Structure 1
């Protein structure tokens, strides 16, 4: 139920996701929904927590993969994000991002401090994972060394968020790919750009 609800919140945002959409997505009646979660707000918080767990698990697997160079880890991460957007586009919408949408609606965090804590924890952990991949790339010489890993991680976070927003606005997936490549190329060494990623 949480993953089905998260998909609705990701695509439509909190305010534009109706109880009817949530019931239909989860395959339950209104009474079952409220017996389990008490309110739409509670379902949102639990769905956000689940979405964050799944997202961090997916990103950790990619960004800590010792079989890939640092540059390749970042490339695979962006490949996953772009593939998700391409799949959603075939269904007639953008994949959306519950995390980005929640950040863009600060009233959610003010109404329930748990939302802000979940978002802050996600950003801290995502930044650590990305910085770790950048350090690996700097050590294996596939990523340039003049960037601090922390600054590079923040740049990558902004790129991921920006790609999600651009996709929601209808930007073509091919153009999203070019945007991702521009960000990745700014970090890659010349030798990494010249070789195909593994």
Structure 2
């Protein structure tokens, strides 16, 4: 069933929840409606399972990138963006990001689905925040930077769906890393001046 779940995930990723019809999901998975319901429950349950699958695949990659450079939060954020840009450039997967695609449709999702999307964004923010935590900056600054990095990640996904080139996306990521570095350097300077 994991192959069918992966195919269903691709349909939601490409089309979004609203346009992922049961016929399209059935065609992609090779399962008829009855088998689809029997295996995964209704469309909402299948969607949540696809979100979980996506989060397990890419969340593990994000976690690895963000924890690979302890004590160097800027390098951790650079590694995070490298993973994101590699996923975006991978011709084997749909353009963009399932989470970004789903977040854009949050108002049309059922509450449970919308909450799960928000929870996945929050989890990503917590991962980024943990990577930044070694920096000597005020908690509010770290919170703001973590939110900023997640916002840039989601923006990269949207821009890629709109046809932005790899060079354009890398430029955005580079500027985001510069912003993180400059903000953390400014916070460290303030600490020294106040110390």
TM-score of the alignment, normalized to the shorter chain, above 0.5: yes
Q: What residue is the counterpart of 2:144 in the other structure?
A: 151
Distance 2:181 2:169 in 1: 18
Q: What residue is the counterpart of 1:34 in the other structure?
A: 37
- How does the TM-score come out when normalised to structure 1? 0.78
Q: What residue is the counterpart of 1:12 in the other structure?
A: 15
Distance 1:94 1:66 in 2: 29
Q: How many residues align?
A: 180
Q: What residue is the counterpart of 2:96 in the other structure?
A: 96
Helix, strand or coil at the partner of 1:148 = helix
Distance 1:38 1:122, change over 3 A: closer
Which consecutive residues of structure 2, in runs of 5 or more, have no partner in the other structure? 186-195
Which consecutive residues of structure 1, in runs of 5 or more, have no partner in the other structure? 140-144, 193-198
Distance 1:56 1:48, change over 3 A: same
| Residues 46-103 of structure 1 deviation map (CA, whole Å, 9 limit, x = unaligned) | 2123223333322222212256732221111111111111123xx6x85222211222
| Residues 83-127 of structure 1 deviation map (CA, whole Å, 9 limit, x = unaligned) | 111123xx6x85222211222113344x2x221321232222221
Decide which structure has greater helix share.
2
Q: Moved runs in structure 1, 4+ residues, more than 6 A?
A: none
Aligned match for 1:126, one of 95, 106, 124: 124
Aligned-residue CA RMSD (Å): 2.6
Distance 2:10 2:127 in 1: 24
Contact 1:163/1:176, CA 8 A, preserved across alignment: yes
| Residues 156-181 of structure 1 deviation map (CA, whole Å, 9 limit, x = unaligned) | 11100111011111111111111111
